């Protein structure tokens, strides 16, 4: 990863915060956030060493203060497309050589900007994250997915499962790659694979292939028990004719009374004319009907010498005109309602094997589009569908229900028991969880993927509900977006075999050359033959001119700007340092010699990231104990703050109050920070694992909270 002098980030949402954190994880990076003053930003940015200019972004003076004139890149990540473009152009006015990375929801406009504005990358969180939702829904073993090339290509994914579940047991790696139309990247944890090696059924494989092939090779799930049917969710029996009539009368009391009055007038008129004009009942009915509809008096008519009969006839006519008008209005409303229900209203869905999508916002619309590209049947639930979604329903591309996806009555209509998968991507985290739980209550085996903005909440969902897979669009997008500040064409980040990789797209002539190519893994090319096609490749030499190349590039080791030395490395002896814990007890790290020890450093107690990390370790403590490891948390908070933190969240391990930074300095986790132009120092979030002999076995120098507890537990078990 190339070092840069300064990157300016514009924005105030979770994505901007995550991008700042990812940028600062690279050695030599300086980052300044430009956004209006938000109190919680000060503390959070301070915790990972980011500068902060609290001003409105669309101002030349503010951009100058943020350092745009000397910056190598500016990343404009607000949720306002117009503001993003304005800020980017003003930054280019101040610094003609600055690299631009801007967020745009409108992908068509974004492509035009990229084509016409040099050294510029345009990004969309929805477009970047939606393939991951689709890939996971169709294949639960798919841990990352993307569309390659952007806008025009196929959906590709990375999946991990045994060879038997890919249908490649007993054949060679070369034959397996032909079977999946992709690449076998690793087997049994090893990335170095001979093409003629034979795969065993229990070999755990990492495979990169088109999502439709991953889905096709996925083994069918055999249910060993019937899906439980809960009484509240059982479909209600269909009511009889009389009951429906009573319900209609109850729902439409005024209309019901009017119809009753018209019928009464009609019957009384028939009786009246049968008596006064000496008609038989059939003739009297005919006479009243022609009078009622104003179509008669060609053959039968009231006599002129019977004024009462003529007045009654007039009354019947007026009643008929009014009744017919109201009937037409009611019939029109009923037809309109029926048409609405058929296109987008609440109705019972008979489709089977469909994907149920709750929510059609920016991410939801992308998910729907990707599913349709894969030929899937899609049922969409949305409270306020936009014109694009309604048009898809009218064209019979999707089945749309306009309603609340969290209501049991709505889910009951969606045939969840026969659904292929459920994707909940509304704007509410709790609503998405409610949809997921409702779907699982109706079909315990259905794959469920939900969108969760709050990463701590996503972690809690993952720990408490194993059947639900949750994704944060910002967490998915931030690593890739951060690399775009200095490396155009980055499409994402994945990790396997203890190595993290950037997923990079380049032209064939721009691909990595030796010796760098020796550390990179080619995945495939997009070849413009006819309509274009994806071709897996084993070596970079297979790429042809004009191909678009996709490959994995390993991340460089992260450095740090520590005060008083560098971060301790694996193989170093555990420092003989200590401090008081939350109960006032003196604790020294060497006291744990003879046991494995996890020491994690967090910037400040009871802040969002530190809370999420500590809760995750709290929940993992039983597994750590079983693996023979103790855990200790360290921050520069005092004893009282550590005690409040531990009691508030039930933290069941020592929290050391390193108020003098003795432990932090010994481990080298203190970094220099710049806030409002003032330099300060603080803890860089880090974790260390020591073996029973007191030697550091594993170091995580810059920690991303999501999934970190699982990585630590895995390392402890392997030690």
List the beta strands (DSSP E) in 429-489.
Answer: 448-451, 468-471
Structure token digits, residue 201: 């059924």
Q: Which of 46, 142, 610, 664 is catalytic?
A: 610
Q: Are 533 and 191 in contact (CB under 8 A)?
A: no
414 as an active site residue: the answer is no
d(CA 214, CA 235): 35
DSSP codes, 295-323: ---SS----TT-HHHHHHHHHHHHHHHHH
DSSP assignment letter at 40? H
Radius of gyration of the chain (CA): 34
- Which are the contacts of 94, defined by CB distance < 8 A and separation ≥ 6? 60, 63, 64, 68, 69
d(CA 461, CA 476): 17
- Which are the contacts of 623, defined by CB distance < 8 A and separation ≥ 6? 713
Q: If residue 251 lies in a helix (H) or strand (E), which one and from where to where?
A: helix 241-251
Structure token digits, residue 452: 């969760």
List the beta strands (DSSP E) in 414-558.
Answer: 421-424, 448-451, 468-471, 490-496, 499-507, 521-527, 533-536, 548-554
d(CA 33, CA 51): 6
d(CA 265, CA 273): 12
Q: Are 33 and 75 in contact (CB under 8 A)?
A: no
d(CA 342, CA 351): 14
CB atoms within 10 A of CB 263: 11
Between strands 696-700 and 686-690, the pairing is antiparallel
User: Hey, which residues are catalytic here?
Assistant: 610
């Amino acid at each position: 990863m190339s070092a840069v002098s300064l990157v300016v980030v514009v924005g105030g949402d979770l994505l901007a915060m995550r991008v700042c954190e990812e940028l600062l994880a690279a050695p030599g990076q300086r980052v300044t956030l430009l956004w209006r003053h938000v109190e919680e930003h000060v503390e959070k940015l301070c915790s990972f060493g980011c500068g902060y200019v609290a001003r409105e972004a669309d101002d030349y003076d503010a951009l100058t203060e943020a350092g745009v004139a000397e910056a190598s890149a500016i990343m404009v990540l607000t949720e306002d497309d117009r503001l993003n473009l304005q800020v980017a152009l003003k930054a280019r006015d101040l610094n003609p050589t600055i690299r631009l990375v801007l967020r745009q929801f409108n992908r068509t406009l974004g492509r035009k900007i990229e084509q016409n504005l040099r050294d510029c990358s345009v990004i969309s969180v929805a477009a970047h994250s939606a393939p991951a939702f689709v890939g996971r829904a169709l294949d639960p073993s798919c841990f990352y997915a993307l569309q390659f090339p952007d806008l025009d290509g196929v959906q590709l994914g990375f999946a991990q499962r045994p060879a038997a579940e890919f249908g490649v047991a007993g054949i060679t790696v070369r034959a397996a790659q032909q079977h999946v139309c992709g690449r076998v990247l690793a087997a049994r944890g090893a990335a170095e694979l001979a093409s003629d090696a034979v795969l065993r059924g229990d070999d755990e494989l990492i495979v990169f292939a088109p999502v439709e092939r991953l889905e096709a090779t996925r083994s069918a799930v055999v249910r060993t028990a019937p899906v439980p049917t809960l009484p509240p969710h059982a479909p209600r029996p269909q009511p009889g004719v009389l009951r429906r009539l009573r319900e209609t009368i109850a729902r439409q009391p005024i209309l019901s009374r009017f119809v009753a009055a018209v019928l009464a007038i009609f019957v009384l008129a028939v009786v009246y004319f049968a008596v006064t004009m000496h008609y038989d009942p059939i003739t009297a009915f005919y006479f009243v009907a022609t009078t009622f509809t104003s179509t008669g008096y060609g053959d039968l008519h009231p006599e002129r010498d019977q004024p009462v009969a003529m007045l009654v006839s007039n009354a019947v006519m007026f009643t008929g005109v009014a009744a017919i008008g109201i009937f037409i209005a009611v019939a029109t409303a009923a037809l309109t309602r029926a048409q609405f229900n058929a296109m987008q209203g609440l109705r019972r869905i008979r489709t089977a094997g469909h994907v149920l999508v709750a929510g059609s916002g920016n991410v939801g619309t992308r998910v729907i589009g990707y599913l349709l590209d894969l030929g899937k049947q899609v049922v969409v639930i949305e409270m306020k569908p936009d014109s694009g979604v309604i048009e898809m329903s009218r064209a019979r591309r999707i089945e749309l229900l306009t309603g609340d996806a969290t209501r049991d009555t709505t889910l009951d209509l969606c045939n969840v028991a026969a659904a292929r998968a459920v994707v909940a991507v509304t704007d509410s985290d709790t609503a998405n969880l409610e949809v997921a739980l409702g779907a699982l209550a109706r079909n315990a085996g259905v794959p469920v993927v939900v969108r969760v903005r709050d990463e701590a909440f996503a972690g809690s969902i993952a720990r408490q509900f194993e059947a639900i897979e949750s994704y944060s669009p910002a967490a998915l997008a931030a690593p890739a977006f951060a690399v775009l500040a200095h490396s155009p064409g980055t499409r994402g980040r994945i990790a396997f075999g203890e190595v993290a990789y950037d997923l990079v797209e380049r032209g064939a002539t721009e691909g990595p050359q030796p010796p760098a190519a020796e550390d990179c893994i080619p995945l495939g090319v997009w070849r413009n033959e006819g309509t274009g096609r994806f071709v897996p490749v084993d070596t970079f030499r297979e790429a042809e001119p004009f191909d678009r190349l996709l490959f994995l590039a390993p991340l460089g080791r992260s450095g740090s700007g520590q005060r008083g030395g560098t971060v301790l490395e694996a193989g170093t002896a555990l420092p003989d340092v200590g401090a008081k814990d939350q109960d006032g007890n003196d604790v020294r790290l060497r006291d744990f010699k003879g046991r494995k020890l996890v020491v994690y450093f967090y910037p400040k107690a009871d802040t969002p990231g530190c809370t999420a990390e500590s809760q995750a370790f709290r929940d993992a403590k039983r597994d750590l104990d079983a693996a023979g490891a103790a855990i200790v948390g360290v921050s520069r908070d005092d004893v009282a703050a550590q005690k409040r933190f531990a009691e508030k969240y039930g933290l069941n391990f020592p929290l050391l109050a390193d108020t003098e930074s003795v432990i932090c300095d010994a481990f080298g986790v203190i970094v220099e920070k710049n806030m409002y132009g003032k330099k300060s120092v603080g803890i860089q979030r880090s974790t260390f694992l020591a073996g029973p002999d007191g030697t550091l076995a594993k170091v995580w120098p810059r920690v991303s909270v999501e999934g970190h507890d699982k990585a630590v537990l895995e390392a402890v078990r392997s030690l």
